[in-house]
């Protein structure tokens, strides 16, 4: 699976969120942080996205739009992610995952950091059922892309394990270097 690099250009597209609204990727006048997560009830994703939610106003104030893609169906995502204040995209057929070279591998959950994040996420979700994600791929790795309005990839990260993604501080710092 081919992966994008900094400087590559991705074509503009309109994606449909889990609530049925259209979102442009990339945004026409702001940076877009396009992040690929795992499955709908993923406790690691839950933990990470709550850190994004806590600082969402700060991220928006820095001129960044958040768009999060999951490889789950929209109905599953609405059970777990409907309250997020940014665009959530369902990609159950992994079309965007394939296009962006975001892979799945058993080693994604082998890292101790992923285990710790999963345990903390389950406690915060207060539910083990979401973590089980029956019928879901648990071996997905995250990926982060910072896209300029012209579609150019300003920066990118392909995670090596399930809890290997940019923190909010890293997102803001990377965006600050672009400005």
- pTM of structure: 0.85
Over the chain (179 residues), the average pLDDT of each successive run of 10 is: 92 97 97 93 85 97 97 90 93 95 68 53 50 54 96 96 90 91
The CATH number corresponding to 13-178 among 3.40.30.10, 3.40.50.300, 3.30.499.10, 1.20.1050.40 equals: 3.40.30.10
Determine which helix (DSSP H) or strand (DSSP E) holds 100, and give its type and residue range. Answer: helix 95-100
Decide: helix, strand or coil at residue 87. Answer: strand
Each residue of 56-106: pLDDT tens digit?
A: 999 999 999 999 999 999 998 998 888 999 999 999 999 999 999 998 665
């Amino acid at each position: 699976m081919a992966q994008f690099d900094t400087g590559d250009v991705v074509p503009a597209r309109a994606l449909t969120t889990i609530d049925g609204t259209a979102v442009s990727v990339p945004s026409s006048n702001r940076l877009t942080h396009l992040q690929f997560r795992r499955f709908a009830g993923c406790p690691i994703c839950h933990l990470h996205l709550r850190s994004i939610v806590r600082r969402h106003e700060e991220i928006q104030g820095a001129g960044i739009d958040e768009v999060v893609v999951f490889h789950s169906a929209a109905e599953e995502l609405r059970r777990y992610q409907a309250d997020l204040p940014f665009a959530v995209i369902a990609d159950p057929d992994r079309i965007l995952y394939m296009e962006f070279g975001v892979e799945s591998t058993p080693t994604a959950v082998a890292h101790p950091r992923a285990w710790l994040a999963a345990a903390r996420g389950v406690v915060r979700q207060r539910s083990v059922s979401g973590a089980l994600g029956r019928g879901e791929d648990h071996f997905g790795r995250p990926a982060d892309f910072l896209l300029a309005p012209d579609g150019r990839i300003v920066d990118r990260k392909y995670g090596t394990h399930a809890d290997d993604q940019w923190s909010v501080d890293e997102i803001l710092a990377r965006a600050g270097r672009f400005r």
